[in-house]
Amino acid sequence: MRIAYLDCFAGISGDMFLGALLDAGVAPSVLHDAVASLNLGASLKIEKVDRSGISSTKVFVLDETHAEAEAHGSQAEDRAQGGGHTHEHDHTQAKKHEHHHHGRHLSSIRKIIGSSSLTDDVKQTAIHAFELLGASEARIHNVDIEKIHFHEVGAIDAIVDIVVASAGIHSLAIDRWFCSPLNVGGGMVDCAHGRFPVPAPATADLLRGLPTYSADPQMELVTPTGAALVRALNPSFGTQPPMRIQKIGYGAGTRDPKGFPNVLRLSVGESETASKPGTDTVTVLETALDDLNPQITAHVAEQALQQGALDVMLTPVLMKKGRPGTLFTVLCDPDKAPALESFILRETSTLGIRIRQEQRSCLTRSHQSVETPFGAIRIKTGSLAEEELNATPEFEDCRAAAAAHNVPVKQVVQSAIAAYRMGKSK
pLDDT tens string 99-151 = 344 568 888 899 999 999 999 999 999 999 999 988 888 888 888 877 776 65
Is residue 55, in this structure, part of any structural domain at all? yes
Examine the domain organization and report whether 265 and 284 are in the same domain: no
- CATH number of the domain enclosing 335: 3.30.70.1380
- CATH number of the domain enclosing 376: 3.10.20
Is residue 227, in this structure, part of any structural domain at all? yes
Structural domain including 296 reads 278-362
Between the CA of residue 247 and those of 4, 24, 106, 173, 301, what are the distances in Å?
Answer: 9, 5, 35, 13, 33
Distance, in Å, from the CA atom of 211 to the CA atom of 235, rounded to the nearest integer, reads 12
pLDDT, residue 153, reads 52
Examine the domain organization and report whether 143 and 263 are in the same domain: yes
Q: What pTM, to 2 d.p., does this model score? A: 0.63
Distance, in Å, from the CA atom of 57 to the CA atom of 116, rounded to the nearest integer, reads 26
Examine the domain organization and report whether 322 and 207 are in the same domain: no
pLDDT, residue 99, reads 38
Examine the domain organization and report whether 121 and 170 are in the same domain: yes
pLDDT, residue 66, reads 55
Among residues 208, 182, 205, the alpha carbon closest in space to that of 339 is found at: 208
Contact 301, 312 (CB under 8 A): yes
Distance, in Å, from the CA atom of 419 to the CA atom of 84, rounded to the nearest integer, reads 44
pLDDT, residue 46, reads 97
HSE, CB side, 13 Å, CA atoms: give it for residue 128: 21
Distance, in Å, from the CA atom of 223 to the CA atom of 242, rounded to the nearest integer, reads 29
Examine the domain organization and report whether 352 and 373 are in the same domain: no
Examine the domain organization and report whether 11 and 106 are in the same domain: yes
Helices (H), 115-251: 120-141, 156-172, 201-206, 224-233
pLDDT, residue 51, reads 96
Angle at 105 between CA 103 and CA 110, to 5 degrees: 115
Examine the domain organization and report whether 163 and 227 are in the same domain: yes
Which of 343, 362, 381 is the last residue in one of the domains? 362
Cis peptide before 199 (omega within 30 of 0): yes
Which of 228, 249, 271 is the last residue in one of the domains? 271
Is residue 76, in this structure, part of any structural domain at all? no
pLDDT below 70 — which residues of the chain?
64-103, 149-154, 192-193, 273-279, 426
Count of domains forming the chain? 3
Is residue 172, in this structure, part of any structural domain at all? yes
Examine the domain organization and report whether 397 and 306 are in the same domain: no
| pLDDT tens-digit map of 187-216 | 998 876 678 899 999 899 999 889 999 998
Is residue 85, in this structure, part of any structural domain at all? no
pLDDT, residue 142, reads 83
Examine the domain organization and report whether 33 and 180 are in the same domain: yes
Is residue 161, in this structure, part of any structural domain at all? yes
Which of 221, 248, 271 is the last residue in one of the domains? 271
Is residue 96, in this structure, part of any structural domain at all? no
pLDDT, residue 417, reads 95
pLDDT, residue 32, reads 96
pLDDT, residue 426, reads 65
Examine the domain organization and report whether 341 and 403 are in the same domain: no
Examine the domain organization and report whether 295 and 200 are in the same domain: no
Examine the domain organization and report whether 167 and 264 are in the same domain: yes
Is residue 69, in this structure, part of any structural domain at all? no
Write down the mean pLDDT value for the chain.
86
